[in-house]
Amino acid sequence: MPVTCRAPIVAALFLMAAPAVARAQAAPPVFFVGGLDDAKTRATAEVGVLVPYQVNDRGTKGEWGQNGKFVDCVCLEALAGVGLGGARFAIGPAVEDATIPILWVGADALLTILRTFDSPRAARPNTTYVGGEAGIMVMGIRARVGYAHAVSGAGRYGNVVTGNIGVRLQW
């Protein structure tokens, strides 16, 4: 395995470990599932977790924002997805706001590792891509866009624009 291929993996492991050492977890993690249409992996199922590190509760005990639910959260987001054209893993910082309980609003910036299968959309088959994505979410509808570079394989699509749009349910 070339050194250039190992560097993104080491960076991802560092990102996973660094926040845990820096601060204690502020609230219980929030899990999510979703479905999306990805620019490379096509129809994709996604699961993940938000680990809160800063929580600003509004209200008194027993109201929304207490007992494990949070508002104005700075989190570490980790997600994995598998689709018809490939699989992906992403990790990075996220912010979420739930001033109104059913109106989740959020944004994230993720380091993404994408592995395509035999039939990706506009990407090399059986290739690993590493890049970054930024996204927003309003009322459970999430959209992301990013850029990735091929770290394996040869041929067309050495660099690709990534993106997806989908629905997320959190609890």
Terminal-residue alpha carbon distance, the chain? 39
pLDDT value at residue 15: 60
pLDDT digits (tens, 9 = 90+) for 107-152: 999 999 999 998 888 888 889 999 999 999 998 899 999 999 999 8
Is residue 39 within 8 A of residue 17, CB to CB? The reply is no
At residue 8, the 3 state secondary structure works out as: helix
Rounded percentage of the chain residues whose pLDDT exceeds 70: 71
Q: Give the 3-state secondary structure of residue 30.
A: strand
Question: How sure is the predictor about 100, in pLDDT bands with cuts at 50, 70 and 90?
Answer: low
pLDDT at residue 64, rounded to an integer: 44
Hey, what CATH class is 3-170 in? mainly beta
- Asked whether 32 and 77 are in contact (CB, 8 A), the reply is no
* Strands 128-138 vs 86-97: parallel, antiparallel or unpaired: unpaired
Nearest to 50 by CA among 72, 23, 32: 32
Ordered by start, the domain boundaries in the chain are: 3-170
Task: Output the pTM of the full model.
Answer: 0.75
pLDDT at 52: 84
Q: 80 and 48 in contact (C-beta within 8 Å)?
A: yes
- Identify whether the C-beta of residue 54 lies closer than 8 Å to the C-beta of residue 74: yes
